[in-house]
Amino acid sequence: MNKYSTTYPASKEEADYSKLQTKKTGLDMQDFLNLIVAQMSNQDPMNPVENTDFIAQMAQFSALEAMSDLREVSMQGQVTSLIGKNVVVADYNSRGELDIQEGIVQRVTLHGSEAILYVNDKEYRYSNVMEIKEISKKEENPVEKILTDILEETKKVNKTTTDTEENQEVEQP
């Protein structure tokens, strides 16, 4: 048993059902306008609703929509900041079993309000991220390690070449 098993649904079917239950969580502007049209067409002609009431409702809904947009932009910033970081992700495999992987986020793509992370050359949703870990010095920059190794080997070759040339000069009278 792993430490993440209690935070994920027991099976892929349960996870899919959960996604269906939370697909649409609120009203959008079109729904709001449809409600206003229905309210206006069904109002009592002898006691009509004030225009200021409609304007206040529209302003409240616009503010709510702006906050939703801000939340989405904030989420996009959080997701893109994960590029190059070590994460633990979980998803269900083809057998419906929970598969937990750890790796460095290679890239991120944004599709509307959904963010896709690429870890170990596999796609994961942002919601699949279980943990963000600090990258150790060893993992931090593989290019730097390669360049350091090349520099060390070059120094060894240069030292060997210099030693060989000095030995040849000593032997000649």
Q: What is the pLDDT of residues 60-78, one digit of tens each?
A: 888 888 888 888 888 888 8
Instruction: Please tell me whether residues 110 and 25 are part of one structural domain.
Output: yes
Count of the separate structural domains present in the chain: 2
Residue 87 CB coordination number (10 Å): 19
Domain assignment of residue 147, given as a range? 141-171
Instruction: Please tell me whether residues 48 and 130 are part of one structural domain.
Output: yes
153 vs 168, residue with greater confidence: 153
Q: What is the pLDDT of residues 20-49, one digit of tens each?
A: 554 555 667 788 788 878 888 888 778 877
| pLDDT at 113 (0 to 100) | 74
- Is residue 123 very low, low, confident or very high in pLDDT (cuts 50, 70, 90)? very high
Instruction: Please tell me whether residues 130 and 47 are part of one structural domain.
Output: yes
Q: What is the model's pTM?
A: 0.48
Instruction: Please tell me whether residues 165 and 110 are part of one structural domain.
Output: no
Strand locations in the chain (E): 86-92, 98-111, 114-119, 122-125, 129-133
Instruction: Please tell me whether residues 97 and 160 are part of one structural domain.
Output: no
- pLDDT value at 169 more than 90: no
Instruction: Please tell me whether residues 79 and 161 are part of one structural domain.
Output: no
Instruction: Please tell me whether residues 81 and 105 are part of one structural domain.
Output: yes
- pLDDT value at 118 more than 90: yes
Contact 7, 36 (CB under 8 A): no
